[in-house]
Amino acid sequence: MNTVEVENVVKTFGDKVAVDQLSFSVASGEIFGLIGPNGAGKTTTIKMVMDIIKPDSGGVTVLGEQMNEAAKNKIGYMPEERGLYKKQRVLDVIVYLAMLKGMSRRAAEEKANRMLEQTGMLPHARKKIEELSRGMGQIIQFIVTTIHDPQLLILDEPFSGLDPVNTEASMKMVLDLRSQGKAVILSTHQMNQVEQLCDRILMVNKGRAVLYGGLAEIKSKYRNNSVLLEHEGELGEVPGIAEKRVFKNHVELFLSDDTTPQQLLERLLERGIIIHRFELATPPLNEIFIRVAGESHK
């Protein structure tokens, strides 16, 4: 059973179609990237999954059932802006929001203290949210999102505005969630993070799905049939190479249709060329996106 099952949902606001016939599923133990430019319909989709807004048509099931108030307790949602009561104390905020998710005060307090301790935030438990640094606020937000042990996590731009150290720490937290068997929906437009974290992706543009599937699969589908090479020695004329592009530290070799990368590698080795790097060139997701978005634009 998939954790999330979205089937043919449509949502229009006035004349504008925000989400058009979108279908996807998210399994437990995977990080699912919901990507696309601003205004593509990501947030609307997320709100429909959380039952904050209702689709005009189509259906959403979470953990095998239609969304209802009880199912909301199995979802952890982290908004893009860090949504916490600035004037309140850290522990109070965590406990209050955990109780809204159906935890008892006592269980919430215990778990909050344990999680604060694990993250090294216990000394700050009595501080007000506004006294925390951005990175600390992010940790608290993660605790709030996960304290009730949700099966599904929806993270909206979880790394925006974080410095590299905090980004790294946050990414580790997301990966930990996957290893605990949670289903994670990661909404972002930062493609490099998607490449680092996501197992599968759904790319939306103007409310429609333009790419859907495993990340590796998509990347190989869109690869140029070229290899990236860092080498020593003169390359000269090598059969099977249709085009050569020279970059600062490497060259990109585009193969002719009858040549496989394996054959090229053998030919290079035969010529005694010292190879530091030989890599099938997969285009960055960014490039795929621009290409696909461009196509769907036409």
Tell me how far, at minimum, the Cβ of 119 lies from another protein, in Å. Answer: 19
Q: Which is nearer to another protein, 83 or 294 (CB)?
A: 83
Tell me how far, at minimum, the Cβ of 287 lies from another protein, in Å. Answer: 31
Burial 72-111 (b: 16+ CB within 10 A, else e): bbbbbbbbeebebeeeebbbebbbebbeebebeeeebbeb
Q: Judging by DSSP bridges, how do beta strands 241-246 and 4-13 pair with one another? A: unpaired
Q: Which is nearer to another protein, 120 or 161 (CB)?
A: 161
CA–CA dist 108, 102 (Å, integer)? 9
CA dist 182 → 26, 41, 171, 179 (Å): 10, 24, 15, 7
Q: Which is nearer to another protein, 82 or 267 (CB)?
A: 82
Tell me how far, at minimum, the Cβ of 40 lies from another protein, in Å. Answer: 17
Q: Which is nearer to another protein, 97 or 209 (CB)?
A: 97
CA dist 69 → 27, 100, 229 (Å): 21, 11, 55
Q: Which is nearer to another protein, 13 or 266 (CB)?
A: 13
> Three-state secondary structure along 146-165?
HCCCCCEEEEECCCCCCCHH
CA–CA dist 274, 68 (Å, integer)? 62
Q: Which is nearer to another protein, 62 or 285 (CB)?
A: 62
Q: Which is nearer to another protein, 174 or 264 (CB)?
A: 174
Q: Which is nearer to another protein, 53 or 273 (CB)?
A: 53
Q: Which residues are near another protein by CB under 8 A?
A: 14, 47, 50, 52-53, 69, 72-73, 75-87, 97, 100-101, 144, 154
Would you tell me how many other CB atoms lie within 10 Å of the CB of residue 133?
A: 11
Q: Confirm if 58 and 8 have CB atoms less than 8 A apart.
A: yes
Tell me how far, at minimum, the Cβ of 89 lies from another protein, in Å. Answer: 10
Q: In what order do the strands lie in the sheet with 75-78?
A: 75-78, 152-156, 183-188, 31-35, 200-205, 208-214
Name, in order, each residue with C-beta under 8 angstroms of 136's C-beta and a sequence gap of 6 or more: 121, 124
Would you tell me how many other CB atoms lie within 10 Å of the CB of residue 241?
A: 18
Tell me how far, at minimum, the Cβ of 101 lies from another protein, in Å. Answer: 5
Tell me how far, at minimum, the Cβ of 97 lies from another protein, in Å. Answer: 7
Tell me how far, at minimum, the Cβ of 202 lies from another protein, in Å. Answer: 20
Tell me how far, at minimum, the Cβ of 282 lies from another protein, in Å. Answer: 35
